[in-house]
Structure 1
Amino acid sequence: MYTKTLDITVSESVRFPTQGVVPLLLNKIHERLVFTNPEYEVRHLRGEWLGNIAPQIHCLRKTGRHYIIPRGFLDQFLELCDRFQQPYRLIDRRRALEPVAMEFHGQLKDYQLEAAEGVLERDFATLVGGYKSGKTVIGLYTIAQRRQPTLILIPHLDLMEGWLTKIENFLQIPRKEVGLFIRGTHRRGDRITIAHTGEILRQWKALKERVGYVILDECQRCPSKVFTHLIPNFDSRYMLGLTNSTQRRDRLSQLIYIYLGDVVYSISEKDAREGRGVLRAQVIARTTDFDYPYESRADYPSMMKALMTDEARNRLIADDVEAEIREGNDPLVILTGGGEQDRQLGRELERRGISVVVQDPEAEEEVSAGDAGRVEPVSDRRPEEPPEHGAGGRKAILVTPKALAESSQKLSADVLFLAVPVYFRRGLTHAVRSLPRSGNGDTGTLPLRIYDYVDQKVGLFENYFRMRSYNYGAHPDALLGD
């Protein structure tokens, strides 16, 4: 039996003809998109006044010769077409604008990268994750990847500051360039606009033609009319829903998936706890004056070279090393980028009477486990014996992040200096946590002391510090004394 090809048009909604639809397919669509109104059901069971509350919620509408369904349901719809052998032709009329310049300045954890990849595989998607699971950062990563002017919808104003701060940190977009539709302020941003759902319900026409990506935050807290009356006004190419839970108080959780897209990833509590407060350490945060005109990842190798050879920064590190050694805390470990930093920092320490040893240099070519900046390998050497004055010939061990991750049990220290802005991946975190104390092969009872050098003038490096703070189990502002 010949079945007519169905023309499916995707714009602000999904539209298809009433004629030529396989009956079993239409029945299944009706089954999923027309359902009992939970509020009507509750009131009916209680014998309460029903007023004008509809007994059913209809997400399938018929207008003239076409059916209209929410476009978040598109993936399910196409899957049903395949199941019931309904041939179709997809007509894509979604809005895709000229790409805008955006770059993500940070490093995702492994589970966050998996979640981001799941989102990027679908044009319409929902991401589930609890409080502090990193959904906002994942959302910003997808914005940078898609490079479309983005509208971020928030149901409560208490979410605005968090978004603005993270946009500044991870996308390096000043908050004055972020558009706002909040409390009577109507200002569109060229790259990102944040809008309160209540405000934009009346002002969506001012933004519709300037948006290629819509993100709805805290879906579980949004009024149902945000899904039914606001989201369908936008024909953007991409949509993403961020939600803490798959449950809503009004028992209308299906509205999230029908209007925004299926759940593509759920962040487990175990993943969300990964690395949080795993380093039992006394952290001493030192701010530096290092600065660099960093604009993109292409600048990273030259910026790292400038950081590792910055004399004032290396002197600051040497001052702290010398102070610890004078207190009798040696041997100690300094995490470096290898190459020229080993030579410059080593010379500065030797001048102060501190013996320097480079640990397993041949095994390392990368600055940090979290990035791809390459540095010059260092040769195996032991500096000349230090003079008899100064720190009395005490010893400092220079080691790169990769070398430490591979040989931490061969070292021992009570003090660790982070001379490069590392990102704590799992291997490095484990190595630092298991670093033996005082050469006795035991981690001991006293926590490791970590000197963390914070290059606040470079947004990427400040982000790395904030991520390290997560591993310390402390707020970055508290560590800095802000």
Structure 2
Amino acid sequence: MFELLREATIISHFEKEPSFDRLFPNQDFHSGKGLGNLIALPLNGKAMQKDNSMFLDTETFEPYKNQFETIASFKKVSKVKFLGLYESFFNQKPQESIKSNIIPATSTDIEIQISNQVYLKRFQLNKKLIAFLRDNLNFLNSDYLVKKNLGKSTFNIEKYFRLIEETTEGVIIPRGFVSNIVNFCKQESISFKVIDNRKKLDSVDFDSEIELLPHQEIALEKIAEKDFGVIVSPPGSGKTIIGLEIIAQKRQPALIVVHRKQLFDQWIERIQSFLKIPKREIGQIGNQKFTIGKEVTVAMIQSLTRSEEISKIANKFGTIIVDECHHIPAKSFREAIVNFNSFYLYGLTATPKRKNNDEKLIYVYIGNILYNAEQKQKIKESDIKAEINIRETNLFAPFDYKIDKYETISRILIHDTQRNSLIIEDIEKNVNRFKTILVLTERKAHVDILNLYLKDKFETITIHGDDSEQSRRSKLEQLKQGHYKIVISTGQYFGEGVDIDNLECLFITYPFAFEGKLVQYIGRIQRSGKPPVIFDYRDAKIDYFDKMFKQRNRYYKKLLK
């Protein structure tokens, strides 16, 4: 049925799973119960006896007395008259409407045009390529399924990510997918030619003083001949340095896109240090600033959401670096990035894995992984063996857990005296083993509670999103100088964008399941070069939290192999 509707141009050839409120007729048998939704055939004798399914006189709206005789008297309308009526009603010729939707087979080369996105001409696409695009650029939105299964509202949440934009003349797709199209055409012996409409800008000379480590040199070699793609590099491996060296080697005006203020400040600091560009000459978009640097500009993604502002700068950069590009699946990121017509486009991330398994969006928009230094490889290369300590808690909930009680059970956890005492006891026993300790939770209230236990005995620093700008800068400087013993923070704040290289031990004090988050957290204590030591707390008596621990434990087992 759907294929017939496609051929009739009622639905798009690129729609993977079209849906309708209802189709009639959708049953061919009536049980006799209720009205049903059968449509009786015209001129059926029994139906006519009940005054159903008959032709009516358009002037009186009365049934014709002799249906067959009346029908036989109708004269055919000429093709010319029919086309004239169609054109007067719809203000277009039938051929134009049909041609814009029905895609014929073609024997000409398929033109793959690349600029800020990939453009394909509709009439050149054959059925194989259409099916390939439909199957690979429409994929399930896991967030939709999760909410649906939990009985939550799915209003305004797409069931599928549909990454194909249709126009009258063709289709538009994100440019990161172009290598997949090329490989498919080669595999299926489909003739094609690539038309590159990207433009290089005037070259820029960078005064780079970067000395690359061996694994960073390998990364640069892997991407030397690639114009766009993703670099996966664990925390502490220097992906910021890799990004700066890419900019220096490509010799194009560069835009660095970030999503957090601490990352914004970090990049500006590193640009000054390694590329020797004064701060006043570094472009800044964000924090109430909108200046374009001759060599490098750093932008907050939140400041690139206004189309009128993006249009002013869309063609001013030859290289774009998207830091923490695992956030690309966020709609604001995607919609901003596709507007820039840069020659080079690279994404940097410590882990491309996403909580809802929608990391495919990263590769569609930026390109495939060009270099991947996995966390496990980094540990092995440094001859570092992780020490993982699992502590069993006695936490329980006095009710059957349900998802809508999550905040209640969260408050029980962060205020549980016995559980918090176990954490504090472990910290006190191990505090002299390490120069510094990082304690991470997911709740700001928990940061304050744990600090109350520790601040009278040890030099502690608490840091989270509620700190003022001045306070945050002061604390980060104190952390860099190493003037502390224990830092207590939220994972949301400390998991990304904090570059401290003197942390040696990690306490994970609040449950979560996502492996990517765990990779980020462990990366915070790998910069010291010493074996990472991790303390984790298993709340086995609460099934939901225990399932989260088992997800984390899978990764711990990988590290210990």
**Alignment TM class, shorter chain as reference:** 0.5 to 0.7
Identify if the C-alpha distance between structure 1 residues 53 and 30 changes in structure 2 by more than 3 Å, giving closer, same or farther: same
What's the offset of the Cα at 1:54?
1.7
Structure 1 match to 2:146: 42
Residue 472 (structure 1) shift: 7.8
Task: Output the CA distance in 2 between the equivalents of 1:100 and 1:260.
Answer: 23
Question: One-letter code of the match for 1:238?
Answer: Y
Matched, 1:175 2:279: yes
Is 2:255–2:320's contact at 8 Å kept on the other side of the alignment? yes
The secondary structure found in structure 2 opposite 1:108 is: coil
What code does the residue aligned with 1:248 have? R
> How far has the Cα of 1:131 moved from its partner?
0.9
Aligned counterpart, 1:230? 336
Q: Could you tell me which amino acid in structure 2 is paired with residue 72 of structure 1?
A: G
Q: Does 1:166 align with 2:270?
A: yes
8 Å Cα contact 2:329/2:361 also seen in 1: no
Q: Is the 8 A contact 1:181 1:196 kept in 2?
A: yes
For 2:316, the aligned partner's letter is R
Q: Which amino acid aligns with 1:220?
A: H
Give the aligned partner of residue 346 of structure 2.
Answer: 240
- The aligned residue for residue 156 of structure 1 is 260
- Corresponding position: 1:5 with 2:120: no
What RMSD in Å do the two structures reach over aligned CA positions? Answer: 2.5
The answer to whether structure 1 residue 53 and structure 2 residue 162 are counterparts is no
Q: TM-score by structure 1 length?
A: 0.55
Shift of 1:228: 2.8
- TM-score in terms of structure 2 length: 0.48
Q: Is the 8 A contact 2:163 2:173 kept in 1?
A: yes
Deviation at 1:95, TM superposition (A): 2.6
Q: 1:258 aligns with which of 346, 350, 364?
A: 364
Matched with 2:229 is 125
Q: Distance in 2 between matches of 1:157 and 1:43?
A: 31
| 1:78 alignment partner in structure 2 | 182
**Distance in 2, Cα, partners of 1:2 & 1:204:** 37
Name the amino acid aligned to 2:254: T
Cα offset for 1:78? 0.7
| Separation of aligned partners in 2, 1:134 and 1:215 | 15
Deviation at 1:214?
0.9
CA distance in 1, matches of 2:332, 2:188: 32
Question: 2:271 and 2:140 mapped to 1: Cα distance?
Answer: 40
Counterpart Cα distance in 2 of 1:31 and 1:107: 44
Tell me, yes or no, if the aligned pair for 2:329 and 2:362 is still in contact at 8 Å: no
Q: Aligned partner of 1:107: which letter?
A: E
Q: Secondary structure at the match of 1:256?
A: helix
Alpha-carbon distance in structure 2 between the residues aligned to 1:264 and 1:11: 20
Report whether the alignment pairs 1:249 with 2:355.
Answer: yes
What are the Cα deviations for residues 13-40 of structure 1, in whole angstroms up to 9, with x where unaligned? Answer: 1001112223222212221110111121
The amino acid that maps onto 1:36 is L
State how 1:23-422 maps to structure 2 within 5 Å.
23-202=127-306, 203-222=309-328, 224-269=330-375, 272=378
Structure 2 CA distance for aligned equivalents of residues 79 and 45 of structure 1: 37
Retained in 2: the 8 A contact 1:25–1:84?
no
Matched-pair contact (CA < 8 Å) for 2:204–2:252: yes
Aligned partner of 2:479 in structure 1 is none
User: Contact between 2:256 and 2:320, CA under 8 Å: does it hold in 1?
Assistant: yes
Q: How much does 1:103 deviate? A: 3.5
Label 1:173 to 1:193 Cα distance change in 2 as closer, same or farther (>3 A): same
1:161 CA displacement: 2.3
1:48 Cα deviation from its structure 2 partner: 2.1
Q: Distance in 2 between matches of 1:119 and 1:240?
A: 9
- Shift of the 276–171 alpha-carbon distance from structure 1 to 2, 3 Å rule, reads farther
Return the offset for 1:271.
5.5
Answer yes or no: is the 8 Å Cα contact 2:220–2:242 preserved in 1. yes
* TM-aligned CA distance change 1:200 to 1:227, over 3 Å: closer
Number of aligned positions between the proteins? 284
Q: Is the 8 A contact 2:106 2:125 kept in 1?
A: no
Give the C-alpha shift of residue 3 in structure 1. Answer: 2.7
Deviations along 1:141-193, whole A, 9 cap, x unmatched? 11111000000000111112221222122211122211000111111100000
Letter of the structure 2 residue corresponding to residue 243 of structure 1: T
SS of match in other structure, 2:123? coil
> CA contact under 8 A between 1:218 and 1:242: conserved in structure 2?
yes
Structure 1 unaligned spans of 5+: 279-469, 474-482
Residue 220 of structure 1: CA displacement?
2.0
Which whole-Å CA distance do the structure 2 matches of 1:472 and 1:68 have between them? 46
Is this contact kept in 2: 1:227–1:259, CA < 8 A?
no
Q: State the shift of 1:47 in Å.
A: 2.4
Deviation at 1:223, TM superposition (A): 5.8
1:227, distance to aligned residue in structure 2 (A):
4.1
Q: Does the CA-based 8 Å contact 1:246-1:253 persist in structure 2?
A: yes
Note if contact 1:123-1:239 (Cα within 8 Å) is conserved in structure 2: yes
Distance 1:230 1:188 in 2: 17
Contact 2:165 2:173 in 1 (8 A): yes
**Secondary structure, counterpart of 2:131 in structure 1:** helix
- Alpha-carbon distance in structure 1 between the residues aligned to 2:383 and 2:187: 48
Aligned-partner SS, 2:297: strand
Deviations 1:38-77 (A, max 9, x none): 1211122222222122211111221112011100111111
Q: Which residue identity is paired with 1:240? A: Y
Q: Deviations over 1:303-324 (max 9, x none)?
A: xxxxxxxxxxxxxxxxxxxxxx
> Which blocks of at least 5 consecutive residues in structure 2 are unaligned?
1-104, 385-526, 531-561
Conserved? CA contact 2:319–2:342, under 8 Å: yes
Q: Deviation digits for residues 243-301 of structure 1, max 9, x if unmatched? A: 111212343211111000100111133654588799xxxxxxxxxxxxxxxxxxxxxxx
Q: Relative to 1, partners in 2 of residues 1:53 and 1:269: Cα closer, same or farther, differing over 3 Å? A: closer
- Is the Cα contact below 8 Å between 2:210 and 2:241 reproduced in 1? no
Q: Which residue of 2 aligns with 1:285?
A: none
Whole-Å separation in 2 of the counterparts to 1:175 and 1:275: 36
Aligned partners of 1:6, 1:47: CA distance in 2, in Å?
Answer: 45
The one-letter amino acid paired with 2:282 is V
